[in-house]
Each structure stands twice: as structure tokens, then as C-alpha cells.
Amino acid sequence: MTGSSVALFFSVFVACAVEAVEAVTIVLAAGTARDWKSALRGTGAGLVVLAAIIGIAGPAISKIPISDLRLAVGGLLLVFGLQWLRKAILRASGYKALHDEDRIFKEELAAARAAGHVSKLGVADWYAFTLSFKGVLLEGLEVAFIVLTFGTIQHQVGLASIAALAATLMAATAGFALRKPLSRVPENNMKFSVGILLTAFGIFWGVEGSGIKWPGDNWAVLGLIIFVATLGFVLVAILKGRHAKISVTVSTPSEMIEEKSDVDQEVILEKVSGSFFTGLKAFGAFWYDFIIGDDWRIAAGIVISFVLTSAVKSSGNIGIAVVPIVVTFLLTMSLIQVTKAPN
């Protein structure tokens, strides 16, 4: 197995493990509080829909010219990666509460127990079915995206699929064997790592898609991983210092930053089943959130960086620095904006 194959396997495995842990937590809550048979049927239905998406999207993606594919995937990976990295930095620096699977499990459990019992379409407990279905589908969409993009660009869809399957089976086996959320999994560290990896691969493929070859070819990814990791740790150190000063100078403890969560996506999917226009609007909002994320300026900045890189590609290696510089600026400015103390 080559170095690039190892990097692909590790990246896909860690990213999918994070999503799998969150999906398992939701299914466990549905099964424990409601009905296991209905919860497992919802899980199966979600997996079938994901398999259909992969089956349809996979061949379509493979027909896209490789330069265009690298550009599109590089941009999407940067949007995903910077979102994951930003949230991990906020958690590591104390501005955002650490992800707590135990708390999430208890909240899902309480909501499941409070909901009424409805049978529909041969399913004994429709709430347990839909809760599991939505959890698996929402978390699985990112898994499907990562598998298809990483696998297609490096012509190793099989290896990416094996990594995703291994991560999912590991999380599911551990979760159902223990019958409790995997709260001991260092999820923020994993998300930090995934954010670094997705951002590094996004920069690499985005620059190549813009028409510039990296010195050292695939080995350049290692340098980008070191660069993004260093940037992340530096920003954590800076924000930790700011947070400590705020906590000392302000008489009341500084509040944790609240951001959009996957619960918002569940609400969006609930609305899809309403009236046609309400559902259409909610469907669009879901995909906007999935592709653009919670800060449109980052997505716009990434597009601008690709345009600039393409414009200076004839200037030798100067164009290589454009995307990393813009990414550094976007991440730093976004963190400054979200952690800015109120007047």
C-alpha cells in the first residue's frame, strides 16, 4: 500500500468513525426508549437510501473530467474541513463546549420517551423508525460524500469503501455491545484530525484542479497536513489566551458559543414532509447547509482563491501559495468574528 493509499484509508476511516459514533448514539436512543425492531428497520432504510445515492452518484462523478472534479471536490472538502476545524478549535480553546455523547444520548432518550406512539406502513413505532432513519441518513451523507470524492479522485473507491465500512462496523459493534453511547471516544481530537486532513486534501486538489502541479506530487499532501495542523494549534493557543483574559476581566463567566448543530438538519427534514412549497424550501435549505455550511463567506473566499490561482498559474510556483494564504485568512477571520466579545 502506497503512502497516498495509507493517507486515504486513514482520512476516510477517522472521518467516518466520527459520523458513525453520532449515528449509533441516535439509534441507541430510539431503540432503548422506544422499539428496537422499528429502530433497526429505520436504520436499514437509511442504509438503503445511502447505498442508492452512492450507486447513482458514483458513476456520474466518475464521468466528470478529472481537473474539474479535483476543483469541485477540493472546494467542498475545504468547506467541510474548515467547518470541522473551526469547531474543533473553538472547543479546544474553551469557546465552545466539548461534544458530549452522554448528554446527547440523554436528550434523545428523553425526547423519544415523551413522543406519542403511532403505527404506520406496517411499522410498530413510527417515531423510532423515523428517528433512526434520519440519524443514519444525515450522518451517512457525509460518509457517502467522503467515500465518493476521495475514492474517485484517487481511483480507489474500493479502498475508501472498506475504510468507511470498517469504521462504521467498529462504532456499531462497540455501541450495541455496550448498549450506551461511545462517550469515551476522544471525538473532539478526532474531529480536529479530520478537519486538518480534509482541509489539507482540499488545498491539494483545489490547487491541482486550478492547473498547478505540486512539487513532489502526492508527497505535498504531507507538507500541507503539517501546515494546517500547525495553523490549527497556533490558533488554539491564541484563542486560549484571549479566552483566559476575558474570563479574568469579566465578572461573569464567558458564555459558550452556540452554533448550528445536526438537530437543525433534523428539523429541516421534518419540514420536507409538509406542504410542497414548505418542503421544497426546506430541501433547499438542507443542501445549502450541507454544501455551503454556516458561513457563506468561507465558501465565497475558497472560490475566489481558486480563480486567483488559475489566473497566476503561468507564474510558476507563486500560484501554489494563494490557496493556503486565503485559507489561513478565512479561518482566522472567521474565528475572530465568532469569538469577538460583545460591546
32-46, 96-110, 242-256, 310-324: least confident range: 242-256
Alpha helices, H only, 63-186: 66-92, 101-114, 126-153, 157-178
Overall size of the chain counted in residues: 343
Query: What are the distances in angstroms from CA 249 to CA 50, 226, 246, 252?
Result: 50, 35, 5, 9
The full set of domain ranges for the chain reads 3-259+294-339
Residue 73's Cβ-count burial label (10 Å; 0-12, 13-18, 19+) is buried
Q: What is the mean pLDDT of residues 147-176?
A: 80
| All cell numbers assigned to 154 | 484517487
Strand, coil or helix: 227:
helix
pLDDT tens, position by position, 54-95: 778 777 777 778 778 888 888 888 988 898 898 889 888 888
Report the pLDDT value the prediction gives residue 251, as an integer from 0 to 100.
Answer: 43
Choose the most confident range, by mean pLDDT, from 190-199, 231-240, 280-289, 334-343: 231-240
Per the model's pLDDT, the better-predicted residue between 26 and 309 turns out to be 309
pLDDT at 15 over 60: yes
pLDDT tens, position by position, 220-261: 888 999 999 999 999 999 988 877 766 555 444 444 555 444
pTM of the shown model:
0.71
The whole-angstrom separation of Cα 199 and Cα 225 is 8
